[in-house]
Amino acid sequence: MRLVWLPSVPRVPVALMLWLGAVVLLSSACYPGNYPFDIFNEMHYQASQRLQEPERRAPPPGAVPITGMAPDRSWPDMQSVQNPVARSTQNMDRARRLFAVNCTMCHGQNGRGPNDDPKPAVGARFAALGYIHPVDFQSQRVQSRSDGELWWLVTHGIGNMPAFGSIISDDDRWLLVHRIREVQGQ
Protein backbone atom coordinates (compact mmCIF):
# COMPACT_ATOMS: atom_id res chain seq x y z
CA MET A 1 0.00 0.00 0.00
CA ARG A 2 1.32 3.31 -0.96
CA LEU A 3 0.88 6.47 1.15
CA VAL A 4 -0.25 9.58 -0.61
CA TRP A 5 1.02 12.81 0.76
CA LEU A 6 -1.05 15.93 0.53
CA PRO A 7 0.60 18.93 -0.93
CA SER A 8 2.12 21.11 1.75
CA VAL A 9 -0.04 23.92 3.08
CA PRO A 10 1.74 27.24 3.49
CA ARG A 11 2.40 27.93 7.14
CA VAL A 12 0.86 31.03 8.67
CA PRO A 13 3.33 33.09 10.65
CA VAL A 14 3.05 32.57 14.41
CA ALA A 15 2.80 36.31 15.06
CA LEU A 16 -0.30 36.56 12.83
CA MET A 17 -1.99 33.71 14.69
CA LEU A 18 -1.26 35.30 18.06
CA TRP A 19 -2.60 38.62 16.83
CA LEU A 20 -5.86 37.05 15.56
CA GLY A 21 -6.27 35.12 18.82
CA ALA A 22 -5.86 38.32 20.84
CA VAL A 23 -8.42 40.16 18.66
CA VAL A 24 -10.99 37.37 19.11
CA LEU A 25 -10.37 37.24 22.86
CA LEU A 26 -10.65 41.01 23.32
CA SER A 27 -13.75 41.31 21.14
CA SER A 28 -15.54 38.65 23.17
CA ALA A 29 -14.50 40.31 26.45
CA CYS A 30 -16.03 43.65 25.44
CA TYR A 31 -19.50 42.17 24.92
CA PRO A 32 -21.91 43.65 27.53
CA GLY A 33 -24.03 40.50 27.96
CA ASN A 34 -23.71 37.61 30.38
CA TYR A 35 -21.93 35.35 27.93
CA PRO A 36 -19.29 36.16 25.30
CA PHE A 37 -21.45 34.98 22.42
CA ASP A 38 -25.08 35.09 23.59
CA ILE A 39 -27.42 35.03 20.62
CA PHE A 40 -30.75 35.17 22.50
CA ASN A 41 -29.80 37.44 25.38
CA GLU A 42 -33.31 38.84 25.81
CA MET A 43 -34.42 35.47 27.22
CA HIS A 44 -32.52 36.17 30.43
CA TYR A 45 -34.46 39.35 31.15
CA GLN A 46 -38.01 38.56 30.09
CA ALA A 47 -40.76 38.15 32.68
CA SER A 48 -42.04 34.60 32.70
CA GLN A 49 -45.74 34.29 31.99
CA ARG A 50 -47.61 31.08 31.24
CA LEU A 51 -50.32 30.62 28.65
CA GLN A 52 -53.68 32.11 29.73
CA GLU A 53 -52.18 33.48 32.90
CA PRO A 54 -53.29 37.00 33.86
CA GLU A 55 -50.71 39.74 33.45
CA ARG A 56 -48.58 40.34 36.53
CA ARG A 57 -48.35 43.97 37.42
CA ALA A 58 -45.81 45.31 39.86
CA PRO A 59 -47.21 47.13 42.88
CA PRO A 60 -46.67 50.89 43.02
CA PRO A 61 -43.30 51.84 44.54
CA GLY A 62 -43.42 51.88 48.33
CA ALA A 63 -46.81 50.12 48.51
CA VAL A 64 -45.48 46.70 49.52
CA PRO A 65 -42.16 46.18 51.30
CA ILE A 66 -40.27 43.84 49.02
CA THR A 67 -36.96 43.82 50.87
CA GLY A 68 -38.25 41.76 53.79
CA MET A 69 -37.33 44.52 56.22
CA ALA A 70 -39.19 47.32 57.92
CA PRO A 71 -39.23 50.52 55.90
CA ASP A 72 -36.39 52.88 56.69
CA ARG A 73 -37.65 55.93 58.54
CA SER A 74 -36.10 59.36 58.23
CA TRP A 75 -35.05 61.66 61.08
CA PRO A 76 -38.13 63.94 60.76
CA ASP A 77 -40.42 60.88 60.79
CA MET A 78 -38.99 59.73 64.14
CA GLN A 79 -39.47 63.00 66.05
CA SER A 80 -43.00 62.11 67.16
CA VAL A 81 -42.57 58.33 67.58
CA GLN A 82 -42.93 56.96 71.11
CA ASN A 83 -41.28 53.79 72.40
CA PRO A 84 -43.57 50.83 71.50
CA VAL A 85 -41.83 48.35 73.83
CA ALA A 86 -43.34 48.12 77.31
CA ARG A 87 -41.14 49.05 80.26
CA SER A 88 -41.15 46.04 82.57
CA THR A 89 -38.70 44.53 85.05
CA GLN A 90 -37.80 41.77 82.62
CA ASN A 91 -37.31 44.22 79.74
CA MET A 92 -35.20 46.56 81.88
CA ASP A 93 -32.94 43.66 82.93
CA ARG A 94 -32.41 42.85 79.25
CA ALA A 95 -31.84 46.54 78.48
CA ARG A 96 -29.12 46.72 81.15
CA ARG A 97 -27.40 43.64 79.70
CA LEU A 98 -27.59 45.06 76.16
CA PHE A 99 -26.20 48.37 77.40
CA ALA A 100 -23.33 46.62 79.20
CA VAL A 101 -22.36 44.69 76.08
CA ASN A 102 -22.85 47.35 73.39
CA CYS A 103 -22.62 50.80 75.00
CA THR A 104 -20.53 50.72 78.19
CA MET A 105 -17.13 50.68 76.48
CA CYS A 106 -17.77 54.14 75.00
CA HIS A 107 -20.44 55.78 77.18
CA GLY A 108 -19.37 54.28 80.53
CA GLN A 109 -21.19 52.10 83.07
CA ASN A 110 -23.50 54.94 84.09
CA GLY A 111 -23.88 56.45 80.60
CA ARG A 112 -22.10 59.64 81.61
CA GLY A 113 -19.48 59.51 78.80
CA PRO A 114 -16.50 61.73 79.75
CA ASN A 115 -18.06 62.43 83.17
CA ASP A 116 -18.37 58.75 84.11
CA ASP A 117 -16.24 57.22 86.85
CA PRO A 118 -14.29 55.16 85.93
CA LYS A 119 -13.82 56.76 82.51
CA PRO A 120 -14.78 54.42 79.66
CA ALA A 121 -11.69 52.99 77.92
CA VAL A 122 -12.77 53.55 74.31
CA GLY A 123 -14.19 57.00 75.08
CA ALA A 124 -10.92 58.04 76.73
CA ARG A 125 -9.03 56.75 73.68
CA PHE A 126 -11.24 58.87 71.39
CA ALA A 127 -10.44 61.94 73.47
CA ALA A 128 -6.69 61.13 73.42
CA LEU A 129 -6.75 60.90 69.61
CA GLY A 130 -8.58 64.22 69.30
CA TYR A 131 -11.99 62.82 68.38
CA ILE A 132 -15.23 63.95 69.95
CA HIS A 133 -15.88 62.04 73.17
CA PRO A 134 -19.09 59.93 73.31
CA VAL A 135 -22.02 61.90 74.68
CA ASP A 136 -23.15 62.04 78.30
CA PHE A 137 -26.72 60.67 78.41
CA GLN A 138 -27.62 63.14 81.16
CA SER A 139 -26.71 66.12 78.98
CA GLN A 140 -29.45 68.51 77.92
CA ARG A 141 -28.89 67.58 74.29
CA VAL A 142 -29.75 63.92 74.88
CA GLN A 143 -32.59 64.64 77.31
CA SER A 144 -34.28 66.90 74.76
CA ARG A 145 -34.43 64.12 72.15
CA SER A 146 -37.61 62.10 71.67
CA ASP A 147 -37.62 58.32 72.04
CA GLY A 148 -37.88 57.98 68.26
CA GLU A 149 -34.86 60.22 67.70
CA LEU A 150 -32.77 58.22 70.19
CA TRP A 151 -33.83 54.99 68.45
CA TRP A 152 -32.87 56.50 65.08
CA LEU A 153 -29.43 57.52 66.40
CA VAL A 154 -28.80 54.02 67.78
CA THR A 155 -29.99 52.52 64.48
CA HIS A 156 -28.00 54.73 62.09
CA GLY A 157 -25.12 55.89 64.29
CA ILE A 158 -23.67 59.38 64.50
CA GLY A 159 -20.11 60.64 64.40
CA ASN A 160 -17.83 57.86 65.67
CA MET A 161 -20.76 55.81 66.94
CA PRO A 162 -21.43 52.80 64.68
CA ALA A 163 -24.85 51.99 63.28
CA PHE A 164 -26.47 49.19 65.29
CA GLY A 165 -29.39 48.72 62.88
CA SER A 166 -28.00 45.53 61.37
CA ILE A 167 -26.51 44.24 64.63
CA ILE A 168 -29.28 44.66 67.20
CA SER A 169 -32.99 43.91 66.63
CA ASP A 170 -35.61 46.67 66.57
CA ASP A 171 -37.05 45.72 69.96
CA ASP A 172 -33.61 45.57 71.55
CA ARG A 173 -32.82 49.06 70.22
CA TRP A 174 -36.05 50.28 71.83
CA LEU A 175 -34.89 48.63 75.06
CA LEU A 176 -31.64 50.61 74.82
CA VAL A 177 -33.78 53.77 74.62
CA HIS A 178 -35.43 52.68 77.88
CA ARG A 179 -31.97 52.22 79.42
CA ILE A 180 -30.90 55.71 78.29
CA ARG A 181 -34.04 57.13 79.90
CA GLU A 182 -33.27 55.15 83.07
CA VAL A 183 -29.75 56.65 83.16
CA GLN A 184 -31.37 60.08 82.86
CA GLY A 185 -33.56 59.31 85.86
CA GLN A 186 -36.79 59.14 83.85
Is the pLDDT confidence value at 64 over 70?
no
- Each domain of the chain, given as residue ranges in start order, spans 77-183
Tell me the pLDDT tens digit for each residue of 118-171.
Answer: 778 787 788 788 888 888 899 999 999 999 999 999 999 988 889 998 899 999
Exposed (0-12), middle (13-18) or buried (19+): which is 89, by Cβ within 10 Å? exposed
Q: Kindly list the distances between the CA atom of residue 130 and the CA atoms of 69, 123, 124, 127, 160, in Å, as whole numbers in the listed order.
A: 37, 11, 10, 5, 12
77-183 in CATH: which number? 1.10.760.10
Could you report the per-residue pLDDT of 7-61, keeping only the tens digit for each? 655 566 777 878 888 887 777 666 565 555 556 656 555 666 666 667 767 767 7
More confident residue, 181 or 13: 181
Would you place residue 181 in the very low, low, confident or very high pLDDT band (cuts 50, 70, 90)?
A: very high
Residue 34 confidence (pLDDT): 58
Q: Which pLDDT does position 1 carry in this prediction?
A: 57
pLDDT of amino acid 72: 76
pLDDT at position 19 is 83
From residue 78, give the alpha-carbon distance in Å to each of 37, 44, 152, 153, 171.
52, 42, 7, 10, 15
Tell me which long-range contacts 133-141 makes (C-beta under 8 A, separation of at least 24): 134/106, 134/107, 134/160, 134/161, 135/107, 136/107, 136/111, 136/112, 137/107, 137/111, 137/112, 137/113, 137/180, 137/183, 137/184, 138/111, 138/112, 138/183, 138/184, 138/185, 139/113
